[in-house]
């Protein structure tokens, strides 16, 4: 998109909207991402996407083997419009293609499991670019993920109940690691080119009949 076209489209947005976009963009990161493997409850996927938006995670990857990633709009509260959701659903088993892709983006693969002897959240080193992988509600992460993971992470628990709901576990981890990230000296913010791309995407999402408006603009210019 040319600068001129972007300026033109921005004229359809209120100043408050543009300020909000910049404010949110400044808090977005690709230092962390979330991978969901075959979650079957739409309200769980939706709650995760909402937490990603709230804590500034721009990219979410969904592996859809048996279950399709449906969004519960009531739970997501519109957050799915502002987060990049990368769906892996073409094949019978989409776990490997997704993990390959995420690794190619430079992420280490950290699988979360309460049942594996692994790093406790307060001891987790945030300095490496990390994809946090969450498995199915009951079964947890698949064997493929157990084999491929660079490490494992768990939330310390001290009671009789031994597991947290997945949406709660994701929220706890994201809040914890992003609050550490924001006071760190790491270069966690988006690059200018990444910001620009997402900003354009958000501007387009905000304007009704945006394709028609762009066509008219291009005809006239």
**Residue (122 or 192) nearer to a copy of itself, CB:** 122
The rounded distance, in Å, linking the Cα atoms of 160 and 156 is 12
* 167 near a copy of itself, rule: CB under 8 A: yes
Helix (H, G, I), strand (E, B) or coil at 175: helix
Q: Which one of the spans 32-40, 78-86, 105-113, 124-132 is the region binding a copy of itself (CB under 8 A)?
A: 78-86
Helix (H, G, I), strand (E, B) or coil at 116: coil
Alpha carbon of 17 to those of 14, 22, 30: distances in Å?
5, 9, 23
Residue 147: CB minimum distance to a copy of itself, A? 29
Contacts of 194 (CB under 8 A, 6+ apart): 30
Q: How far apart are the first and last CA of the chain?
A: 13
Residue 171: CB minimum distance to a copy of itself, A? 5
Give, as ranges, the residues between 106 and 145 that touch a copy of itself (CB under 8 A).
Answer: 121-122
Residue 155: CB minimum distance to a copy of itself, A? 7
Give, as ranges, the residues between 143 and 162 that touch a copy of itself (CB under 8 A).
Answer: 155-161
CB 179 within 8 A of CB 138: no
Which positions from 10 to 49 touch a copy of itself by CB under 8 A, shown as an x/- string? ----------x---x--xx------------------x--
Residue 190: CB minimum distance to a copy of itself, A? 13
């Amino acid at each position: 998109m040319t600068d001129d076209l972007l300026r033109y489209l921005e004229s359809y947005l209120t100043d408050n909207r543009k300020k909000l976009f910049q404010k949110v963009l400044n808090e977005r990161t690709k230092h962390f991402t979330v991978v969901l493997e075959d979650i079957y409850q739409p309200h769980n996927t939706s709650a995760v996407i909402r937490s990603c938006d709230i804590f500034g995670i721009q990219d979410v990857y969904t592996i859809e083997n048996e279950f399709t990633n449906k969004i519960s709009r009531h739970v997501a509260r519109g957050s799915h419009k502002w987060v990049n959701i990368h769906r892996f659903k073409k094949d019978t088993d989409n776990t490997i293609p997704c993990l390959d892709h995420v690794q190619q983006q430079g992420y280490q693969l950290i699988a979360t499991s309460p049942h594996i002897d692994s790093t406790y959240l307060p001891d987790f080193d945030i300095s490496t670019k990390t994809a946090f992988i969450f498995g199915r509600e009951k079964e947890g992460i698949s064997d493929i993920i157990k084999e491929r993971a660079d490490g494992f992470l768990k939330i310390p628990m001290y009671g009789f109940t031994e597991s947290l709901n997945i949406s709660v576990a994701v929220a706890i981890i994201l809040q914890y690691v992003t609050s550490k990230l924001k006071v760190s000296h790491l270069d966690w913010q988006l690059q200018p080119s990444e910001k620009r791309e997402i900003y354009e995407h958000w501007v387009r999402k905000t304007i009704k009949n945006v394709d028609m408006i762009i066509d008219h603009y291009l005809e006239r210019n």
